[in-house]
Amino acid sequence: MARSRNDRVKEKERFYLLPGQGGRAHREKQKLIIKWSVIAAIVVAGILAALMYWLNRPDNIVAR
């Protein structure tokens, strides 16, 4: 039996969600990822700010 073009398109569009890929678990996972991303960004920004402050101090010997 020959398959029509429409059947092949539907077959390509089909996908399956595994546990953790949708629903409440997915939202909780995304919330955790965003939380840790924000924490990492704040830490990196603080380190860079401290480094820039330390390098731009007038009594800094390294920058001379």
The answer for residues whose C-beta is within 8 angstroms of residue 38's C-beta and 6 or more apart is none
Per-residue pLDDT of the chain (64 residues; tens, 9 = 90+): 556 666 666 666 666 777 666 778 778 889 999 999 999 999 999 999 999 999 888 886 665 5
For 6-59, the DSSP string reads: HHHHHHHH---PPTTSSHHHHHHHHHHHHHHHHHHHHHHHHHHHHHHHHHT-TT
Q: Whole-angstrom Cα distance, residue 64 to residue 56? A: 10
pLDDT tens for residues 2-12? 566 666 666 66
C-alpha dihedral over 20, 23, 27, 30, to 10 degrees?
40
